[in-house]
Amino acid sequence: MADKIRIDKSGAVAELTEKFQSSNATVLTEYRGLTVKQLTELRRSLGGATYTVAKNTLAKRAAADAGLAGLDDLFTGPTALAFVSGDVVEAAKGLRDFAKANPQLVIKGGVFEGKPLSAAEVTKLADLESREVLLAKLAGGMKANLSKAAALFQAPLAQAVRTVDALRAKRENENE
């Protein structure tokens, strides 16, 4: 019986380790006081993230196995992990907005690109604009600069054409 429990636990650790390694980011939360309905609503609002409730000892071991350090202090109380596979900013916004509407959800911190994040840093991530908006702004800025450059390159050419045309008109007047 004890062997079966150990195998189940090692399987859970391996699954969590794989999720830590394959995710763009992971956000740790405390979900104490949330109903099943609220947890289902939270899972839907996260989009490209999976929200998993895990035992602290197993999650701590999985984080260590995945090579993540600096998270041990966050594994206290009832812990749930949001494994983000899509846009990190979008998932952070979903968690922040849900936490505002449901104060029982507490964002403890997380990990992004292998570096630990505090709860405040997760909130800062949520305050960023999404990747698509930032790319659109970059493209708009580049387009505007390219338009200015094209106008700049065309100006000397147009001026040269006007000068040549003025010289041609002057010669025609002198020849008459």
How far apart (Å, rounded) are the C-alpha atoms in residues 94 and 88?
A: 10
CA angle 48-49-50, nearest 5°? Answer: 135
Q: Please check the confidence at residue 1 and state whether its pLDDT lies above 60.
A: no
Instruction: Return the residue matching tokens 């600069």.
Output: 145
Q: Would you say the pTM of this structure is higher than 0.85?
A: no
What dihedral do alpha carbons 122, 125, 127, 132 form, nearest 10°?
Answer: -150
What are the residues facing 109 on neighbouring strands? 28, 118
Task: Render pLDDT for 14-67 as a digit per residue (tens, 0 to 9).
Answer: 888 888 888 888 888 888 888 889 888 888 888 778 888 888 888 888 888 888
